[in-house]
Structure 1
Amino acid sequence: MKFTQRSFAGPGEYIDAESIGDEIRFVLLWSTGPDEEETVGEASHHSELEGLARWVVEGEARSANFLAWLKREPDNPHDPKAVAIVALLEDQMPETVSYLPRPVARQYGPLLAEIDEKTGREVVCRGRLIVPKEDHHHYSVVLRLSPSLLDEFLAWTALPEDAKDEATRAAWKRRKKPPI
């Protein structure tokens, strides 16, 4: 899967250039602070996580960063409000690697639905796979994301088109990061 970047999109927008069927449009959101969301269900996706683990960087807490698609699953037979974490890597098909915990999915689900409804985009954030040094088979996934970041993006989408570039520049200046 390849991603092309578009300048002056919301906080950051990526488009799936090699679409599988219909094109999926993404908006990339990330937290610059300490906000992290833990996920669940990694044990059920062990083989998928092993593929992701080949990108692990050695260190005390071995980890690999990846793009994580927060994919709502309204047809999930166990929980129609489930939010899957789908790893997006350029060299492999998207695969579910974990889920948001139920209470967290209830918080994010409506925001994800609203973003999709208003913009036609799916949300992607920075994910991190952690593999403890002492246990190479106990994977955990955390996301750099907060509900306030989704709220901020929704506020940005409500701006008139001519105000979006200026608002984006101001947001990047506050975060001390260059515009995409």
Structure 2
Amino acid sequence: MSIPLVLILPGWPQSVPDPWPLEWASMSGRRCVDQHDWQRPLRGDWLIRLEEAVLDAAHVVLVAHNLGCIQLSAWAAHSRLTDRVRAALLVAPLDVETVAVRQRLPTWSPIERQRLPFTSWMVGPEHQSDQVEPNAPMQSDTFDSVWAQALAESWGAHWIAQRAAPKPPAKQPSDWPQGQALLYELMKD
């Protein structure tokens, strides 16, 4: 089997302040799934962009962050191209069903909760109070790990708890070496 293309699905708005998805997309064998409008994302538009990106490759591994996780689950529920996906790494999904987020992103809820048809791992903090993205827009300063673990279970994703909260974006390595190690491990399966 050929080496898969790694498609990066950044969060909203385009993984700012968390730089690792865009840094990863600049590496060899990886590509960011660009969107028409990062500030006012429409679910249908984002799903089409993902469909086009997967169509261009024989085999892919998906790395999704934040809203990208929700994009991936919605795409997988409707696409006929899921057999091209070898695996997916999901990081800190955005809860688009909260009132604050739903008001800003009305086309994104409800979240598709059916089992993903490929191997998937979800990464999140070990404890409810661990910070994930301290400055992320419209997210509380804590990540709901109980909600994320339930979402991982509904998607059939293996839950991987981080032992400690990531460093603030200014102090965090932009290539997120722990995540790189997880991706390489996932690609071996």
TM more than 0.5: no
TM-score w.r.t. the length of structure 1 is 0.30
- Please state which structure has a larger fraction of its residues in strand: 1
TM-score w.r.t. the length of structure 2 is 0.29
Relative contact order (C-alpha < 8 Å, sep 6+): which is higher? 1
Larger Rg: 1
